[in-house]
Structure 1
């Protein structure tokens, strides 16, 4: 059965596969159920996760139940264990809401929860991150994960995030990042989609962030904590939850 799943996973384009996966998720859960790996978002166990990736695939990373990836599960664990997100009354703004979180966050009665995106049909407010229709100092928490790498003027986007965050507010701004690279790389002259996907990881990414990402946020005015949350977890937990060891969570405060 695993070989059959792998065949179709390799055959179908990633976007189509994700859409179909929502329809066949109960089937995936049934055939892959087990005790070796656990998705911490819903607590379900599996004998294997699914592969995922544009071009070069990462094996055993896509949860059959929530369709979460490594970054989503790390984000969830940090929110659950290290923040007041699930307990205090908070006004939250969530950019490009991920499917694995959307319904769960909307059910939390302690949150005033708003989602926004320029293109997503599931977002509450259609808005350009560089020109937000929200008052300044509006939100206690801002979640903006794997968005900024798509934005040509990320400085303007960061300024808008800072503007609408309340004083003493906080946020998590995850991005795909090369921690071995000191300086962020951009090159608008590369226009071929195949070449952009090869260089930037996806054709619609406009940069590869280096470690200077944190300083760029600081230059906007944020206080930035570079959280290596996997350092607080055992190797067994990292493997069980299928996390990316050493991934940094950028936690920002105003």
Structure 2
């Protein structure tokens, strides 16, 4: 048996580790053809066995038969296994904060290992915006390469895409050398084509997420009084260019205004 795997993520992933399989032993593979999002699991697995990504794929095919492989969509996997992306289960009250943390981690860390400049704005208990200075990969016409589901969500950045899946509305703004592109999504799927807008910023992405209250729970909320160091994550101190950033919590401003 041969398995056709999408190269949407740029490489092939190794066999599903035991913790990723269902109780029945089924290996879950999504439409993008990968079954682990964490390189600390993937890389050691390959190194211990001296396997390349291609060899790992062959090992996966040899290990599982067709009736043991269940193909599911990216959205379904995020919604049924949020802990794979955000470290906590759906019922955890920490889920909205963990979603924010993973999106911030993605925005803050450039592919060369350095930190970029970002800003974080919390508009309400389940709505937040993260802006970064990462430059988007362009095509030969200097336009953005379509990402997840043909949207402005970059294929090379899984955290915003997974957060969009758990949102009822996502607005993505991409800046390319002074040219702005904006697109609205329902979940991770575009509700229409992207539109141009004027901007003075040379590059970067600004994304607003309105998390789904029916998924996170109507009483759940992003944690109050967050500090930047709480969103940095493990390993940031080893970065060649650690930076600080501000968290603009509009909820606190509204509460203060109401109390005056």
What range is the shorter-chain TM-score in? under 0.3
**Could you tell me the TM-score, scaled by structure 2's length?**
0.25
**Could you tell me the TM-score, scaled by structure 1's length?**
0.26
State which structure, 1 or 2, has the greater radius of gyration over its C-alpha atoms.
2
